[in-house]
Structure 1
Amino acid sequence: MVIAAYQGSDCVGLALAAQRKTPSSTGCKIKQLWLHRSGEQAIDQVWIEHNDFLVQRDNKAQIRLAMFEYLYAQKTLWQELYFGLAESSVIDTLTAKSTFYREVISSPDFEVDLLNKSHLNDYLADLSKNTRSQIRRTEKILSQTGDLILALAENDTQKKQFLHDIAQLHKEKWRNTEFGSGFDNPIFERFHQQLIFEEKETNKTRIYCLMLDKKPMAYIYILIHDKTWYFYLSAMKSHHDNRVKVGLLAHAYIIQQAISEGVAKYSFLAGEARYKRSLSNQPEASQKLICFYQPTLFMRTREFVRSAKSVLKNLLRH
């Protein structure tokens, strides 16, 4: 479904909502609406964050609320309405309109403020002494064995090579985890192929490689919007010396490049990770995926049973 908001004859808001029916434990099928998602793991593995209605900058909050209230009122279209992952501040304005919702995911979100930074040292000064020490020690150890270079894939040939290397490393690390590597998923891979090889005028992607004597050590794939660089994923080669923190150094070098280009913010996006926490110079924020549900007897009973199961599981775990 396409949802459009108009102010007079001007379109000021847009959204896509996917309709889906999913079986419940009782055998009944639940009607779901997902904002910019399908509700199916394989399709959604691309993973959308800051997932909000697409609204014009003026009166953003007012337009968002109007679109949500309209969608919320379409009772025949859904029993569950999924919104997010979105910033907590956005989610809070919506949950204030209904008490019938559950939090599906809440994930920390880390950022680096680069305003008023003119050099990498300005940024490093914001970090803990231990993090600064790890970055500088890594740079010193690696520099003693060769030349360190941060390379950007600037043409299709380089992009193909970098992407191939990323895919291989990513599969090695994630293939045997719960959701697997996205690079084993044709939908995920096709999406990023299209994104990375877009025309130069519209391309909002970059792939960097930290090299030691022209040999790849770490790849980092970022998305760019306005004055913000978003870290999407990385692929690292292991190092025999556990004092060497390749990931920390790679991010530091990219942040240095961002500062030189006048970037205002470097976002690590959602996901708990110690390196994100260590490299962030902003208070921890969060993004959430929320499921609103209809307050019918069936749905309220279902939510009660779900909550009871969760409590019991936590009790048994302890």
Structure 2
Amino acid sequence: MVLAAYQDTACVGLALLAQRKAPSSTGFKIKQLWLHRSGEQAADQVWIEHNDFLVQRDNKAQIRLAMFEYLYEQKTMWQELYFGLAESSVINTLTAKSAFYREVISSPDFEVDLLNKNHLDDYLADLSKNTRSQIRRTKKILSQSGNLVLALAESDSQKKQFLDDIAQLHKEKWRNTEFGSGFDNPIFERFHHQLIFEEKETNKTRIYCLMLDKKPMAYIYILIHENTWYFYLSAMKSHSDNRVKVGLLAHAYIIQQAIFEGATKYSFLAGEARYKRSLSNQPEANQQLICFYQPTLFMRTREYIRSAKSVLKNLLRH
């Protein structure tokens, strides 16, 4: 369903909400609303972050709160309302309005501030001595074997080649994990294919490849919005020398390009990873997925049982 907010006759806020009935261990089905998500793993594997109501810049906090309060009052439409992943600052304004919620996911979020950076060295100066050393050592070792070049896929044929290579490497790394590789998921593949092969005027994607003597070393898929570059995913070739940190060097090359093009922020998005922490020059932020629930006896009992199970699992784990 669509939720719209108006100021007089002007639309100032929009949201798409998916309704579903989710099975529960009690046998009852739970009425759910998901913001810009379906609630189904396969459809949601594209993964939405900074997931908020779509609101105009002016008075966005006021509009967001009005939309949430209206939605919260529609008691017959939902028993659970899922909001996020969104910045903690956004989540906190909503949870202040209700005591009946649980945190589903909490994930660190890392960024690079590129404001007033005129050269890569300006950015590297913000990093630890160890990280700078790893980047420079990797470049030195690889450069002894050939010529390092950062290539951008520009033609459709090159984009297809890069995307095919990424898919193969991604499957090799992630296929046997809990959620698997998105490139084994037709929904995920179709979504990104449509995004990557959009018309040039509206296309906000880039696929870069760090090459050593024209041989691919690392691929990085970027989304661009205004002055921010968002790192979506990468695919790396392994290297026999453990001193070589291909991922660090690839990100450094792309950040250098972002600086050259006037970007003011490079976002690693959510997800705990050592390289993100090492390459960030900003304090760690956080994104959360929150589930609000109706304070009925059934739902409160269900949440109590869920919480008790979680505590018991932690005790058994230790």
Task: Determine the structure 2 residue equivalent to 1:61.
Answer: 61
Question: Displacement of 1:73 after TM fit?
Answer: 0.5
Residues in 2 aligned to 1:246 and 1:258: alpha-carbon distance in whole angstroms? 18
Does 1:38 find its partner at 2:38? yes
The letter of the residue matching 1:47 is W
Encode CA deviations 1:169-203: one digit per residue, 9 max, x unaligned: 00000000000000000000000000000000000
Task: Determine the structure 2 residue equivalent to 1:112.
Answer: 112
Residues in 1 aligned to 2:287 and 2:155: alpha-carbon distance in whole angstroms? 34
Task: Determine the structure 2 residue equivalent to 1:4.
Answer: 4
Structure 2: tracts of 5 or more residues without a match: none
Task: Determine the structure 1 residue equivalent to 2:127.
Answer: 127
Task: Determine the structure 2 residue equivalent to 1:267.
Answer: 267
Question: Displacement of 1:4 after TM fit?
Answer: 0.3
Task: Determine the structure 1 residue equivalent to 2:311.
Answer: 311
**Correspondence list, 1:215-254, <5 A:** 215-254=215-254
Residues in 2 aligned to 1:226 and 1:266: alpha-carbon distance in whole angstroms? 11
Question: Displacement of 1:205 after TM fit?
Answer: 0.2
Question: Displacement of 1:265 after TM fit?
Answer: 0.1
Residues in 2 aligned to 1:204 and 1:65: alpha-carbon distance in whole angstroms? 29
Task: Determine the structure 2 residue equivalent to 1:147.
Answer: 147
Task: Determine the structure 1 residue equivalent to 2:82.
Answer: 82
Residues in 2 aligned to 1:26 and 1:153: alpha-carbon distance in whole angstroms? 51
Residues in 1 aligned to 2:154 and 2:45: alpha-carbon distance in whole angstroms? 27
Residues in 2 aligned to 1:22 and 1:83: alpha-carbon distance in whole angstroms? 16
Over aligned residue pairs, what C-alpha RMSD do you find?
A: 0.3
The letter of the residue matching 1:69 is E
Structure 1: tracts of 5 or more residues without a match: none
The letter of the residue matching 1:148 is L
**Correspondence list, 1:163-312, <5 A:** 163-312=163-312
Count residues with an aligned counterpart.
Answer: 318
Encode CA deviations 1:145-165: one digit per residue, 9 max, x unaligned: 000000000110110000000
- Scaled by the length of structure 2, the TM-score of the pair is 1.00
Question: Displacement of 1:248 after TM fit?
Answer: 0.1
Encode CA deviations 1:207-236: one digit per residue, 9 max, x unaligned: 000000000000000000010000000000
Encode CA deviations 1:8-35: one digit per residue, 9 max, x unaligned: 1100000000000011111000000000
Residues in 2 aligned to 1:100 and 1:231: alpha-carbon distance in whole angstroms? 34
Residues in 2 aligned to 1:278 and 1:292: alpha-carbon distance in whole angstroms? 34
The letter of the residue matching 2:92 is D
Question: Displacement of 1:237 after TM fit?
Answer: 0.3
State the identity as a percent.
90
Q: Which runs of 4+ in 1 moved over 4 A?
A: none
Residues in 2 aligned to 1:145 and 1:46: alpha-carbon distance in whole angstroms? 37
The letter of the residue matching 2:197 is F
SS of the residue corresponding to residue 50 of structure 1 reads: coil
Task: Determine the structure 2 residue equivalent to 1:71.
Answer: 71
SS of the residue corresponding to residue 5 of structure 2 reads: strand
